[in-house]
Amino acid sequence: MNRRRFLHDSTLGLSAISLLGLPACATSENNDKPLFELSLAPWSLMRRPYGEADPEGIDLFDYPFEAKELGFNYIEQDNLHFPGDLPNDKDISKMKERCLEADIKSELILCGALGDAADEISEKRKAAIEKYKKWIDAAKELGCKSVRVVCADYVTIPFDEKLKIATDGVSELVEFAAAREINLLIENHNGYTSDPNWLSSLITVVNHPKCGVLADFTEWRIRRDPVELYPDPYKGIEILAPFTKSIGAKSTHFNSKGEETNVDYFRMMEIILKTGYNGFAAVEYFGEDLPRKEGIQLTKKLLENVREKLSQNTSA
């Protein structure tokens, strides 16, 4: 499809949604800004790193157009979908160009498989930090406002020891990110970060306005073998909510009412919004029983409905 025609048709489609009265963008009390914005997480469409076969996946550089066609104005990026450990200027420039052509903005870049920013082995920690810095610069070039880094995703040493090492690594990274007007985010994403008490302690000790949490609804696995989960996801989100700067709204299964069967989205968002949060909630469809685009649309619609209900509650 011609890109200009694509953008024209997409605009008409969104206008039609508005005319039908569907909940496209519930706003806060002043009607100037929605309670929260929606973005699309790349793993919803591309579930393998660069170079690995994904029969249902899409080409990385078609991603902005696919997201726009699905009704998104913002996307997340992921370093694992780009070739190599370090960003290539040519690839970053090409992605930036594609986003401009699709009229879509990159909001955040997820960084993984680069090492632990809290590795107890100093050489490994320093190597990981230097890689993250390269991706922070790439995030700046792409127009992202935030970068998620991996920190303490395995429980290998005692709580306090890991906290001290993580504080040093994260403090160095957040200073680097802040100089580029980028938020540095840690996700509850395995290991100590899935213990909300540990993660909230880390953000409190680092004590930097650009350092915060990417709050994921479902990532609560503290230990892998034997499996240990944080027992109450809603309590976990309540602990992390004051530090939250982005949200990963992960979904896998839906019932006939369009509700996620494993997560109460309304309850999760209500907890976070009580803190005054008004950032992004990323649609992350990880299910296997529906086509990916259908799962994305169901997740998006669910978040829109939740936003509409919470907006009405705010206005009441």
Percent of the chain with pLDDT over 90: 87
For the chain, what's the residue count? 316
Instruction: Enter the tokens of residue 70.
Output: 């699905």
Quote the pLDDT of residue 2.
42
CATH of the domain at 40: 3.20.20.150
- The answer to whether residue 147 sits within a structural domain is yes
Per residue in 162-200, pLDDT (tens digit) is 999 999 999 999 999 999 999 999 999 999 999 999 999
Percent of the chain with pLDDT over 70: 90
- The answer to whether residue 219 sits within a structural domain is yes
pLDDT, average across residues 127-134: 98
- The answer to whether residue 217 sits within a structural domain is yes
The residue among 28 and 99 whose pLDDT is bigger is 99
- The answer to whether residue 121 sits within a structural domain is yes
Sign of CA dihedral 194, 197, 203, 206: negative
Quote the pLDDT of residue 277.
97
Q: Are 199 and 188 in contact (CB under 8 A)?
A: yes
Up-side HSE of residue 199: CA atoms within 13 Å toward CB?
36
pLDDT, average across residues 226-253: 98
C-alpha to C-alpha distances, 196 to 156, 226, 231, 235, nearest whole angstrom: 17, 19, 11, 9
- The answer to whether residue 167 sits within a structural domain is yes
- The answer to whether residue 76 sits within a structural domain is yes
Quote the pLDDT of residue 31.
57
pLDDT, average across residues 264-275: 98
Quote the pLDDT of residue 313.
82
Which domain does 117 fall in, by range?
36-45+59-290+303-315
Q: What is the tally of structural domains in the chain?
A: 1
Instruction: Enter the tokens of residue 229.
Output: 């989960």
Instruction: Enter the tokens of residue 107.
Output: 């909001």
52's CB contacts (< 8 A; 6+ apart) are none
Task: Report pTM.
Answer: 0.89
pLDDT, average across residues 250-275: 98
pLDDT, average across residues 232-250: 98
- The answer to whether residue 1 sits within a structural domain is no
- The answer to whether residue 235 sits within a structural domain is yes
